[in-house]
Amino acid sequence: MTFAERASALPPSQGDGGASVLRSPATIRERCANVLAAADAGRTAHLAVDRSKLDACAAIVADVTRRRYPSLAVPYHSRWRHFEAGGVDRAAELDRALAGRGATDAALARIDLAIVSVLLDAGAGARWSYVERETGGRYARSEGLGVASFRAFVSGAFSSTPGDPCRVDACALGAIDGAALARIFQATDANPLVGLDGRASLLRRLAAEVAGRPSAPFRPLLERRGDVAAAEILATLLEHTSAIWPNGLVLGGVALGDAWPHPRAGGSGVSAGYVPFHKLSQWLAYSLFEPFERAGHRVVDRDALTALPEYRNGGLLLDTGVLALRDPADATRRHAVGSELVVEWRALTVALVDELAAHVRSRLGRPGLPLACVLEGGTWAAGRETAAKLRGGEPPLAIESDGTVF
């Protein structure tokens, strides 16, 4: 079944539209399917689709997955993988720091860490790296950002409570500026990290929204008995964090977050014409699966969430020919995050990675492999490796980023 056929079977969007519709993973798939259908019909302005390249792309992903996880016990694509950089078990270090806390309180601390660390991760640039004093290891890109934010968390950089460093609270976040983040990330003119001010602004916006701890809205889910649906985790995130995103798009008085207009988005009601992605929020939701599971909850309906539309997954599709620029000169230009080309690229990435995942599962002989594990195995790693071979790690499209989306 193609992505478009799968999306056509989803429940229809609410007729009155609105920002709430744009928070639904079903709407993400629906709107991305509309853009894919337009591309299939040759009605997109910037990108063309070649499904004949999907299986070869899947072969690359499957090979990378087997190399990284020979037993095919693939974990989730989450922030916790970056805390394992260099083979260091930092999660065990955190466990020791949280010893003596109950399951809920320990989970809240892990959620605090995941939230602030994910919000600080939106691309590092090719020239930045971080040296971990505790191990002497040097880390770049997402691993470096993850290790640096972990070290800041356990040292109390995000806590205003003396004697309790392993927490995040609004008072501490509200005091963070670009200079503070530069110190945390060891950023200098000679070691530049893109988007410091944007990231600091995001944390201050979060402080204004949560008032207390970012993890607090998850306490009811943690204290509830039984399973927790992945969409519930995402809904809680979006309900309490949508207003922190700086793109300025508002619908019905509600901030849209990572949602953008595209002429082929379709839809009905006042939300028509917008494609939601909620990329960082969805990656954060994936990163909260493990704290919930550690607290004794089973996370169900995990594939309700979508592929992450960022430059590794999307770059893999371009680099393997599944997607092609209609104007090759676009590869030499810089593009705004909200440009039609970038929105189109991201929408097609969400749609096509779902189709690609089916090929990958077949090649691995794992029909039930969750999408979050396909991404980890997986599409993200294959995208990074392919970019490294072709361009030294740079993505195939240059994006003007403020550190809050890419």
Other Cβ atoms within 10 Å of 294 Cβ, number: 14
- Is it the case that residue 16 has pLDDT exceeding 60? no
54-76 confidence digits (pLDDT tens): 999 999 999 999 999 999 999 99
pLDDT at 11: 37
Mean pLDDT in residue range 335-345: 96
> Does residue 4 carry a pLDDT above 50?
no
pLDDT tens string 249-307: 788 777 788 899 999 999 999 899 999 999 989 999 999 999 999 999 999 999 999 99
Mean pLDDT of the chain: 91
Percent of residues, the chain, with pLDDT higher than 90: 80
Looking at residue 2, its pLDDT comes to 41
pLDDT in tens, 129-184: 999 999 999 999 889 999 999 999 999 999 999 899 999 999 999 999 999 999 99
3-state secondary structure the chain: CCHHHHHHCCCCCCCCCCCCHHHCHHHHHHHHHHHHHHHHCCCCCCEEECHHHHHHHHHHHHHHHHHHCCCCCCCCCCHHHHCCHHHCCHHHHHHHHCCCCCHHHHHHHHHHHHHHHHHCCCCCCCCCEEECCCCCCEEEHHHHHHHHHHHHHHCCCCCCCCCCCCCCCHHHHCCCCHHHHHHHHCCCCCCCCCCHHHHHHHHHHHHHHHCCCCCHHHHHHHHCCCCEEHHHHHHHHHHHHHHHCCCCCEECCEECCCEEECCCCCCCHHHCCEEECCHHHHHHHHHHHHHHHHCCCCEECHHHCCCCCCHHHHHHHHHCCCEEECCHHHHHCEEECCCHHHHHHHHHHHHHHHHHHHHHHHHHCCCCCCHHHHHHHHHHHHHHHHHHHHHCCCCCCEEECCCCCC
pLDDT at 403: 59
* CA neighbor of 198 nearest in space, from 209, 208, 206: 206
CA distance 277 to 238: 12
Q: Does the pLDDT of residue 244 top 70, yes or no?
A: yes
